[in-house]
Structure 1
Amino acid sequence: MNLDLTVIILTYNEEIHLRRCLENIKNIARTIFVIDSYSTDRTLEIAQEYNAIILQNKWENNHAKQLNWALEHASIQTQWVLRLDADEYLLPELLDELIRKVPVLPGDVSGVEFKRRHYFLDKWMKHGIYPVFQLRLFRYGKGICEQRLMDEHIQLLEGKCVVFENDFVDHNLNNLSSFCHKHINYAIREAIDLLDIELDLFGYSKEEDMKILAAQAIHKRMMKHRYVRMPLFWRSFVYFCYRYFLKGGFLEGKEGFLWHFLQCWWYRTLVDAKVLEIKRACGTDKEKIRIYLERVYGFNLVKK
């Protein structure tokens, strides 16, 4: 059953994932837009097999900017928009829930949160992180992506949000080297995000902006504001202990240890190393930091 639904998928060289994603949602989506950043593999060929509408836009190392570009330039004719990454898919229970509930949602509901399951080395990381609630479904024209380099969420411009019972899955099929390289690239963006919270470099982390986020997004953001106030390097160790021991990540065996070590301790330590590097070069001088980020890392961000 096709819903009054457009699916937007951002891609760059996603041939390993895209067919699984498109096969998953082809029977519920009226329209599928693949917003591609000039892939060089079979991504576009696979998208064409599923009659997806392909739009290409240069990637500027900013998911929020790319998604908002899609919302502005895609000829969306449906009432609802679902945002997915190519390495994500909806569980059958969630597909059934969408078919049952979306057509009868009240007019004052503009967004829907789903629970995300994260798979690492083909194992569900049920302990330590699950469930994560994310707003992925929203009425067209009633939601945009907040402008942040990391941890970006859909903001509702009006209406309220409800939570569905079932899950979607984040299951990346690439190897550990790809996982580590991706997080190395994320580290500078996360460091900028933390510095923005601490020093208000660009105004992307203002607390008043949280008022139009979903409840768990607000909670997560407030936890991040608390995290910023903790000492460098010590905070990454505390975060690992919280997720691995207190939240039960150790129950997931070897895969659970690797996931929490790499994502909580190694990655967060790398982020803090970037923060230290920037502060050693610039102190806390906002203008020096902005110039440094543009010169060294190519981030030319405009203050909000």
Structure 2
Amino acid sequence: MSKLPIAVAIPTKNEGLNIAEAVKSVLGHFEAVVVVDSHSTDDTAKIAEECGAEVVTYTWDGGHPRKKQWCLENVRTDLDWILLLDGDERLSPGLLAELRRIFADQDDPKPAAYDIPLGYWFSGKRLRHGYTIRKRSLTDRTRCYYPEVGDLAAPGIGEVEGHYQPVATTAEALSNPIEHQDLDPVTAWFERHNRYSDWEAWLEHHPDVKEQVRRVKSRQGQLFHKAPFKPLVSFAYMYVYRKGFLDGRAGLDFALAMSFYRWQIALKSREGKTG
């Protein structure tokens, strides 16, 4: 079976529990599989190499490019197409088949990027209803880039770009998902989102940067960016409108967790105004 003319880049830091499944889901299907590791203190790099991936080290110098843009500029630049896959993600068989159909004719015109739905797992269960995020994970690096928003001094994000999409001249949506199945305990989810909420709260006090971020979010992200009463809106959207209640206890737990995340942002923002 021929390999897809795409470089898979997997940015990692301490993904020892997840990296094997991520690598195995793409190895043998793509021209290159490269784990871009930020000096992990666990066995992420060792496991990735044992699974057959190439491993390169990324060291952030505190400026631009950040990690994902660095991947676009440095990972297997002989291949125009690059798929960015998080260490706790893996490709679904349906997505592999869809990509093979799209790239069967390499001369067929293609958009600059593809937006891919996420199949999200929370507390060990696949959510079927309440989660609707798409990630612009597959890009033609010659026609896409991550914007340099002015948040280098913000807490909570660091070396990896924040919650915004790469800029593309054109984009199309795919039908089959990337599966986001984090095998770390749920405490890791809360630790990450505690850091993310620091960044989001910082944006509330830097409206120019907040507007830069809003412009490069997905359409859904742009709409939610302006919504009032975000904790309540978030819960109502996920649990009621998107029927997250059909996912049982996991659906309720996730909707509550995301509402709590939005509450954290608001609380930290208010604290910053009075601090």
User: Same fold by TM-score, threshold 0.5 exceeded?
Assistant: yes
Aligned positions of 1:27-106 closer than 5 A: 27-59=28-60, 65-104=66-105, 106=108
SS in 2 for 1:166: coil
CA contact (8 A) 1:68 1:145 kept: yes
**Structure 1: unaligned runs, 5 residues or longer:** 282-304
Shift in alpha-carbon separation, 1:26–1:37, aligned structure 2, 3 A:
same
CA offsets 1:204-256 (integer angstroms, 9 cap, x no match): 3364xx4xx7xxx13421331x22xx2xxx43123212321222112211111
Q: CA deviation at 1:144?
A: 1.5
1:155 corresponds to 2:163: no
TM-score by length of 1: 0.78
Aligned to 1:253: 248
- Structure with the larger helix share: 1
Aligned to 2:8: 7
After TM superposition, the runs of 4+ consecutive aligned structure 1 residues lying more than 6 A away are 60-64
CA offsets 1:129-162 (integer angstroms, 9 cap, x no match): 23x2222111132112234553221211x3x222
Q: CA deviation at 1:176?
A: 1.7
Cα RMSD, aligned residues only: 2.4
SS in 2 for 1:14: coil
Letter in 2 for 1:239: S
Aligned positions of 1:1-304 closer than 5 A: 1-59=2-60, 65-104=66-105, 106-130=108-132, 132-147=133-148, 150-156=162-168, 158=169, 160-196=170-206, 199-201=207-209, 204-205=212-213, 207=215, 210=216, 217-224=218-225, 226-227=226-227, 230=228, 234-263=229-258, 265-281=259-275
How far, CA to CA, are the matches of 2:89 and 2:64 in structure 1?
15
Tell which has more relative contact order, 1 or 2 (C-alpha 8 A, sep 6+).
2
Q: CA deviation at 1:259?
A: 0.8
How far, CA to CA, are the matches of 1:178 and 1:87 in structure 2?
12
Shift in alpha-carbon separation, 1:29–1:195, aligned structure 2, 3 A:
farther
How far, CA to CA, are the matches of 2:71 and 2:121 in structure 1?
27
Aligned residues: 262
CA contact (8 A) 2:32 2:76 kept: no
Aligned to 1:285: none
How far, CA to CA, are the matches of 1:63 and 1:7 in structure 2?
21
Q: CA deviation at 1:202?
A: 6.9
TM-score by length of 2: 0.86
Q: CA deviation at 1:37?
A: 0.9
- State the identity as a percent: 23
CA offsets 1:260-284 (integer angstroms, 9 cap, x no match): 1012x21111111111111112xxx
Q: CA deviation at 1:73?
A: 2.9
